[in-house]
């Protein structure tokens, strides 16, 4: 990667926490925000080598990044993560709630633990990180919170009752928190990807059938989600946008 020339680094003074940034969409978001000059906190759960690789890619291009392990479904680990960021950088300007998992199976076969694990990370994790970071943003009187939801939260998807419930929950959460934080200059938006090529989707089965549902006729790339996230983080382009859901899905969902 290459950083943009300094006069184009619109996020130069900003500190961004990207959850689940060791791989896939989160990694692409970390690199994109870094390209625009932001200091990046690369959060991960288990892949420390991959997270360090993201940090190395950013720092060797002249950017600034650190990796911090935390399971963001756990309140105490989120608090430790946020405290560590404040101790090191003194502020958090951008929060991207990206970490997510799937435990797909049809409803009648879905075990309570499959349900709970997905709700715990994909919905409760978003609540925990947003609550902790919003305290800091409220004091700063500025901030951008961007939640990665999914088209599954808008249109449902067989085998994903847990995942689509969590992702639909993230949309309601986004709108409510956008209203609660708006008076302090904090915006809260959601991005709903369609099928993006990552580890999460490397086992999709019948890809021909899925491609028929996508008007643009192809799967998306992580960088195509990262571009939308970067736009929502940028001033003044996105300063007047809050409580919205942006589909980046090759046209799968058209309202
Ligand atoms: P991915 O390639 O499987 O990567 C998941 C990331 O989340 C990894 O960095 C992983 O860290 C991290 N993670 C997992 N559990 C965590 C935990 N408990 N705490 C902190 N981090 C954790 O997934 P992806 O496809 O990039 O998906 C990223 C987001 O986009 C998710 O919210 C997903 O639901 C959403 N999304 C994806 C698609 C798609 O088609 N791919 C479509 C719609 C929405 P480790 O490497 O340490 O495990």
For residues 34-50, one letter each, b for 16 or more C-beta atoms within 10 angstroms of the residue's C-beta and e for the rest, the string is bbbbbbbbbbbbebeeb
Quickly list DSSP for 184-250: GTEEEEEEEE-SB-SGGGTT-S-HHHHHTT-TT-S-B-HHHHHHHHHHHHSTTTTTT--S-EEEEST
Among 17, 26, 40, the mutation site with the greatest number of ligand 1 atoms within 8 A of its Cβ is: 26
In this model, does residue 205 exceed pLDDT 80? no
- How much is the pLDDT for 185? 95
CA 149–ligand 1 middle distance (angstroms): 11
Taking residue 170's Cβ as centre, other Cβ atoms within 10 Å add up to 26
- How much is the pLDDT for 194? 98
Q: Which domain holds residue 152?
A: 6-248
- How much is the pLDDT for 203? 81
Read off the pLDDT of residues 36-90 as tens digits, 9 standing for 90 and up: 999 999 999 999 999 999 999 999 999 999 999 999 999 999 999 999 999 999 9
Which residue, chain included where needed, has tokens 């709700």?
119
CA 48–ligand 1 middle distance (angstroms): 14
Read off the pLDDT of residues 4-22 as tens digits, 9 standing for 90 and up: 999 999 999 999 999 999 9
CA 129–ligand 1 middle distance (angstroms): 15
Report yes or no on 253 lying in a domain: no
Q: In ligand 1, which atom is closest to the CA atom of 152?
A: 43
For CA atoms 193, 197, 203, 208, the dihedral sign is positive
In this model, does residue 255 exceed pLDDT 90? no
Give the confidence band of 204 by pLDDT, cuts at 50, 70, 90. Answer: confident
What CATH number does residue 215 fall under? Answer: 3.40.50.720
Helices assigned H by DSSP within the chain: 24-35, 48-60, 75-89, 112-119, 125-140, 152-155, 161-181, 207-211, 222-233
Report yes or no on 1 lying in a domain: no
Report yes or no on 255 lying in a domain: no
CA 99–ligand 1 middle distance (angstroms): 4
Report yes or no on 254 lying in a domain: no
Read off the pLDDT of residues 24-35 as tens digits, 9 standing for 90 and up: 999 999 999 999
| pLDDT, mean of residues 178-195 | 98
- How much is the pLDDT for 137? 98
Give the confidence band of 92 by pLDDT, cuts at 50, 70, 90. Answer: very high
Ligand 1, residues at Cβ distance < 6 Å: 19-26, 43-47, 50, 71-73, 98-101, 121, 148, 150, 193, 195-196, 198-201
Read off the pLDDT of residues 125-182 as tens digits, 9 standing for 90 and up: 999 999 999 999 999 999 999 999 999 999 999 999 999 999 999 999 999 999 999 9
pTM higher than 0.85: yes
For the chain, how many structural domains are there in total? 1
Read off the pLDDT of residues 214-230 as tens digits, 9 standing for 90 and up: 999 999 999 999 999 99
């Amino acid at each position: 990667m290459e950083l943009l020339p300094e006069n184009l680094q619109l996020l130069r003074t900003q500190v961004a926490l990207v959850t689940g940034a060791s791989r896939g969409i989160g990694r692409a978001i970390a690199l994109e925000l870094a390209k625009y000059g932001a200091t990046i906190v690369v959060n991960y759960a288990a892949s420390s080598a991959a997270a360090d690789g993201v940090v190395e890619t950013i720092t060797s291009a002249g950017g600034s990044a650190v990796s911090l392990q935390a399971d963001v479904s756990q309140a105490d680990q989120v608090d430790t993560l946020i405290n560590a960021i404040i101790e090191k950088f003194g502020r958090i300007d951008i929060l991207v709630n990206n970490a997510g998992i799937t435990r797909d199976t049809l409803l009648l076969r879905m075990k309570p633990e499959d349900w709970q694990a997905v709700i715990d990370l994909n919905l409760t994790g978003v609540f925990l990180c947003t609550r902790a970071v919003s305290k800091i943003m409220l004091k700063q009187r500025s901030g951008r919170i961007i939640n990665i939801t999914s088209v599954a939260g808008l249109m449902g998807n067989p085998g994903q009752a847990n995942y689509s419930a969590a992702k639909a929950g993230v949309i309601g959460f986004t709108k409510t928190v956008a209203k609660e934080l708006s008076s302090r200059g904090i915006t809260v938006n959601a991005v709903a990807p369609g099928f993006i090529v990552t580890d999460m989707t490397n086992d999709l089965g019948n890809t021909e059938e899925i491609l028929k549902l996508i008007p643009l006729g192809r799967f998306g790339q992580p960088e195509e989600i990262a571009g939308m996230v970067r736009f929502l983080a940028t001033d003044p382009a996105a300063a007047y946008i809050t409580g919205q859901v942006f589909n980046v899905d090759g046209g799968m969902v058209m309202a």
